[in-house]
Amino acid sequence: MRDNSEVRKHNKKKIRQELRKNIRASKQQMSNMTGLSVATCNTLLNEMESEGEVISEKSLTSKVGRSTSIYSLNEHYGLYLCLEFSIVKTKRVLTWNVMTIYEHVLERSVETHDFLDESMLLKVITDIRIKYPRICSISIGTPSIAEHNIIKYCDIPELEGSSFVKELSLPVAIENDMHLKAYGYFKAECVENEIVTLGLFSEHLLPGTSTIVKGHIIRGANQIAGLVGFLPFGISREELKTKFSSDSHLEFTAKSIVSIIVALNPHKMILCGDLLNLREVELLKTTCANSIPEEYLPTFVYVEDMEKYYVRGMFHRALEVSEEYEHH
């Protein structure tokens, strides 16, 4: 049984979620949307207003001059830092966005480095927090396995073994980049009960997939769920990388996709990466139909650029880890 403080936090979360969706609401409207009593909404909204989290304005409700308070979230009360890093032709690319509760980007930066280790990342984050002291949580996307907020098997060798949680003293979510891209796509394009798998196929890199089942990221017991580069193709991992090239990848890409379809049976198969285009995706669908009857295949969707979904996935993880932190 939850104590009163837990119930209060849970009810505030309900109010916060409704204001994110509906932007503005009176106490009566909030009661209708959340199922909470008007009295409870009144108490919590007044408390959130006194703390600066919500703001109110008077609105006339009739011709006789009666007014009611209309509430909305204070967009700058809490900010969210979404930070990602990747490797492009040996260069380390660091991208970050400072975002509001309504997903508006206050500032975005893309930096290129020859070397990028934990101390450099911490300095970047510290500088951003000095500029934006209202940052309340951080989401970090990594091209790696992120096990218990520790970076493992990273494409950027100098970040191997890094973790930022203790040093940052605020809620932090470190997540595999594929998970975040798939999660962002789900949040933007899917309905609540859908299963969606994202597959990334890039030249001379081991492929990766990530699946969202009804809003939940499938990470597995130790975060390797979806790493189809570990499938037993009968050749070494280094040799497998060479097979993922423009003239030889179709067989291995199709086998990777078929394994995911058989195991998880998604509604949608989202495909991206520099090995693919619309024509390649149609070829893949035809090849997969040689193994699985076409009527059981998911909808194949090609997305050329996943960045907007990546940012959305990072934002939602930052939002979630902030709310999780409040309950501890």
Residue 199 to residue 176: CA distance in whole angstroms: 13
For 36, the 3-state DSSP assignment is coil
Contact between residue 147 and residue 183 where contact means Cβ atoms under 8 Å apart: no
Which of 281, 90, 320 minimizes the C-alpha distance to 184? Answer: 320
Which of 269, 247, 248 minimizes the C-alpha distance to 259? Answer: 269
Sole residue written with tokens 């100098």: 158
Do the first three CATH levels of 79-180+307-326 and 190-302 match, i.e. the same topology?
yes
State both tokens at 150: 């520790």
Contact between residue 184 and residue 314 where contact means Cβ atoms under 8 Å apart: yes
Q: How far is CA 322 from each of CA 39, 173, 317, 319, rounded to the nearest angstrom? A: 27, 9, 8, 5
With vertex at residue 316, the alpha carbon angle to CA 167 and CA 223, rounded to the nearest 5 degrees, is 65
From first to last of the 328 residues of the chain, give the pLDDT tens digit. 456 888 988 899 899 989 988 789 999 999 999 999 999 999 999 999 999 999 999 876 655 557 789 999 999 999 999 999 998 888 999 999 999 999 999 999 999 999 999 999 999 999 999 999 999 999 999 998 888 889 998 889 999 999 878 788 899 999 999 999 999 999 999 998 999 999 999 888 889 899 999 999 999 888 888 889 889 999 998 999 899 988 889 999 999 999 999 999 999 999 999 999 999 999 999 999 999 999 999 999 999 999 999 999 999 999 999 988 765 5
State both tokens at 305: 């650029």
Residue 150 to residue 160: CA distance in whole angstroms: 8
Extents of the domains making up the chain: 4-73, 79-180+307-326, 190-302
Amino acid at 174: I
Indicate the CATH number for domain 4-73: 1.10.10.10
Q: What pLDDT was estimated at residue 292?
A: 96
Residue 286 to residue 290: CA distance in whole angstroms: 7
Q: What pLDDT was estimated at residue 248?
A: 86
Q: What pLDDT was estimated at residue 294?
A: 93
Instruction: State pTM to two decimals.
Output: 0.89
* DSSP symbol at 23: S
Question: What's the fold here for domain 190-302?
Answer: Nucleotidyltransferase; domain 5 (3.30.420)
Q: Which CATH number fits domain 79-180+307-326: 3.40.800.10, 3.30.1490.20, 3.30.420.40, 3.90.550.10?
A: 3.30.420.40
State both tokens at 9: 């936090």
Q: Which residues contact 178 (CB under 8 A, 6 or more apart)?
A: 198, 200, 208, 209, 210, 226
